[in-house]
Each structure stands twice: as structure tokens, then as C-alpha cells.
Structure 1
């Protein structure tokens, strides 16, 4: 943006999708075609008397068509079935981080000129744009925030076909100012999703074999803090203790907020921030 960086954060995922952001990461094993068949037989067996098989099949379809959607749009990786072998453990995963890691990964691909499709959960991206940029794009509104009674915030929006192309949007984005942004759109949603300080964890996030940097210090105004000159981006290729760092997030949280203060003026940034 002409006035600095913005990003989709864990807090955005929590409020838009109501997915848990605390929890463990998942490191799956690769599976061969033979193992995939065995998984399907063991965990998706059709049995009228067993709800567990139907539950696994539904959950596999659900994540495969939303947060894990890839560019095939019709297939789901068999290894994701390993997530649901023990249904009692499902709530222990950080599904919010999952959605964000997957979308970050595909947005990285989409930044390449030869990329024609976007994987991940585009609904998350689209609703994030609707919340933060009220003048960008076309959208329908199902209800006002004050009328919400605990539904995920993404359900506020409905799709409307737009007519603008990429070349039309570029000058619109270039002309945006801080006054055109709703910097903290979810303050009226806190009755249902309280802000969690883990959203200011600065380090790498991972899900499976995908590792991405998560850098809230580069978009502090979205958290109500004065923006300072951020540290250089992380090299996640060098990260070795991501699970440990995630569990011990508090040290990172303190390091992010120590140099700054709360502010109500988004244009109030540290001298030299945009130099």
C-alpha cells in the first residue's frame, strides 16, 4: 500500500471464520497410493451403525473444499485423513493457523505473473478485503455488525459479480489513504471473539510441510499500535523449533509491542517508516 504494509492476521481468521488459533501444528507423513487406499478402507468404511466413518468423510470433504482447497478444486490429499483418525483430537489443532498458512502459501504463488489460479480459501481473502477496504470492490451485505448474534463475521458478506479487472484495480489501490481503511473492523465483534495476544506472535507458522513467516510487527496499525520500522523478514528455511516457539509465544509477543504504544491515529507512524 502507498501508506505501508497490511496483511491477513490470525485475529482476522479468528473473527471471520471463528476457527481456533491456539493449538498444535500438524506434521503429516507422506503417503503412497497403497497407503491412501488403506486409509480410506480403515477410516472411511461404510457402516450404517458407525457415525465415525461418516464424520471423517464429511470433515475431509469440508477441509478439502475450504481451507485446504488446491488448484484441482475437486481432489483432496489422502494424507489429510490422518487428521481425523482420532476425532477427539481434532479440536486440539490450530485450524486458524492452518487456514492462514495455506492462504499465505498460495498468495505467494499468485504474486507470480504466470499464475492464473488461487488455491487456499479465497472466501477468507475476499471477506478480509470487504472488512478493511469499504470502497474497493463490489459486495452485498447480509446484515449489519450490530445485528450479529455470534455468527462468523464472514457470513456478513454475500457475493456480487464485479466488473473491474486487475488493471482497473491497481490505480484504485495506489490512491488509497489511511482514511480509506477500517483499521480495526472487529471491535464490535469482541463479544464473540476476544482478541488473543498470540496474534502478535512474530515467527514462523507451519502446517504440514509448509512453513511461512508471520510478521505482525509489519502491520501494527491493524492491532491499534503505532507502526515502527519493522525488523527484516524472517528466513523460515532456517527455523528449527517452530513448535516450541509457538508454545512459548509470549516472549515474541513482548518483543513486538515493547517498542510501540497504542494509538488511535493510523497515520501516526515512526519517523522513517516509509523511507
Structure 2
């Protein structure tokens, strides 16, 4: 919804969104400091506030150009390690996650590559049973099927089913042959109108992910 022309704001935890961007897209990362292994990952990023005006608009155009020119090599597909699915087993849960009066659908099949597995066309998105917003409310009230609302209480029965050996990626961005065709019909391949042209940008050389993890671990414990 935030990408719609008429949208003037975005809801949710923007700090979490910003940290997610830094983890997966090295091109947009600020400087980083070493943290203890049990420290919050988001606290390692050193961010700076930028001024507005013309400089902000120029940065916006540049970021859009960078996004349009990105390839699979510009994405850190497994920032939490190639074994995230086994080390963080709960991340393979598929169903509805509830906290207090908020419930959201969660489906790891839509991002299999971040667990080190080949991406396939995911199933249809989970949708709530009913959604409405009373006139006196500023937020929507969402209802899920009773069975879906209880899935989190029985985790082992609702994990993503993966053939561990055959589904492993041979390279981080691997996907089924028909996945990209499916993806392009449901996404925005480009942000800038291609008829308006664009400036070719030089990409920095990315450090191999495995080597990066080894280097960071060495520096933290040496």
C-alpha cells in the first residue's frame, strides 16, 4: 500500500524495516561497528541524519537508479548464515503469528533463498476471513479463521516442508526457471520510467558472504 500514488505515509516499525534493508542490500548500508554476539543486530549500524531540500531529492533519484540497476549479486541473500533455517527453526513456521490483538500471516516459502534454499513459486498468500474499520477507529480490525489463529501453538506441525538436499541453492540467488516470469507479473521490475533514461552507476565489489562471516567472527574473538 505504501507504494500507491495516493499514499502519504507508511505504517509499521520503520526501524525494523531500515535494519532489514541494511542486512539484505549492501549498496545502501551505512558504516557498521562490531557488536557482541548477543547484542541486537540493528544496533551495529551507524546512521546519520541527512538534510532535506534539493540534496534529499537528488539522493532519492540516485537510490532509485541504484535499485533499477541491481542484480542478484547486489543482494545478501543469507545475511544470517546459510544454516538459518536449522539454527532458527521457528523461522520456518508457516501460518499466523499473533501478539496481543495483532495477527499477521507469515510464509517463509516466499523467501526461501534467505534460508539457503532454491526459490520456487509460493502458494497463494494467506488472507484473513474478514477486515473492516469502524467509523470511530483509526485502524482496521482483522479476523482470521479460528484454525489459522491457533497454528503458532503447534509449531512442529506447521513448518515449511523442504527437501533438505535437493532444495539447497547451488548459488545464493538460485530460483526455479518459471519463478522469475511469475515474479515479474506481480512486482515492479523498474522504479524509473525507462523512457526517461538513467545514469549508469558503478557497483562496489561485494565481499563473499561466507568469507565475511568468518572475518567478522575472527575480529570479534581475536
Fold-level match, TM-score > 0.5? yes
2:176 matched to 1:270?
A: yes
Counterpart contact for 1:131–1:182, Cα < 8 Å:
yes
Which of 17, 23, 31 is matched with 1:140 structurally? 31
Tell me which residue corresponds to 1:185. Answer: 79
Q: Using a 3 Å threshold, how does the CA distance of structure 1 residues 183 and 210 change in structure 2: closer, same or farther?
A: same
Partner Cα distance (2:101, 2:163) in 1: 32
Counterpart contact for 2:78–2:172, Cα < 8 Å:
no
Q: Using a 3 Å threshold, how does the CA distance of structure 1 residues 166 and 203 change in structure 2: closer, same or farther?
A: farther
Equivalent residues, number: 159
- Secondary structure class of the residue paired with 2:146: coil
Tell me which residue corresponds to 2:146. Answer: 240
Unpaired runs of at least 5, structure 2: 51-55, 130-143, 182-222
Partner Cα distance (1:185, 1:135) in 2: 14
1:166, CA displacement in angstroms? 4.4
2:25 matched to 1:154?
A: no
1:183, CA displacement in angstroms? 1.4
Which of 207, 211, 224 is matched with 2:116 structurally? 224
TM-score between the two structures when normalised by the length of structure 1: 0.50
2:55 matched to 1:170?
A: no
Partner Cα distance (2:38, 2:20) in 1: 18
Alignment of 1:1-275 (within 5 A): 108=1, 110-136=2-28, 139-141=30-32, 143-144=33-34, 148-162=36-50, 163=56, 165-187=59-81, 195-237=87-129, 238-255=144-161, 257-258=162-163, 261-275=167-181
Partner Cα distance (2:160, 2:48) in 1: 42
Unpaired runs of at least 5, structure 1: 1-107
Q: Using a 3 Å threshold, how does the CA distance of structure 1 residues 172 and 151 change in structure 2: closer, same or farther?
A: same
1:184, CA displacement in angstroms? 1.6
TM-score between the two structures when normalised by the length of structure 2: 0.61
Counterpart contact for 1:228–1:269, Cα < 8 Å:
yes
1:248, CA displacement in angstroms? 1.6
Q: Using a 3 Å threshold, how does the CA distance of structure 1 residues 246 and 229 change in structure 2: closer, same or farther?
A: same
RMSD of aligned Cα (Å): 2.9
Partner Cα distance (2:30, 2:160) in 1: 38
Counterpart contact for 1:204–1:214, Cα < 8 Å:
yes
- Secondary structure class of the residue paired with 2:169: coil
1:265, CA displacement in angstroms? 0.8
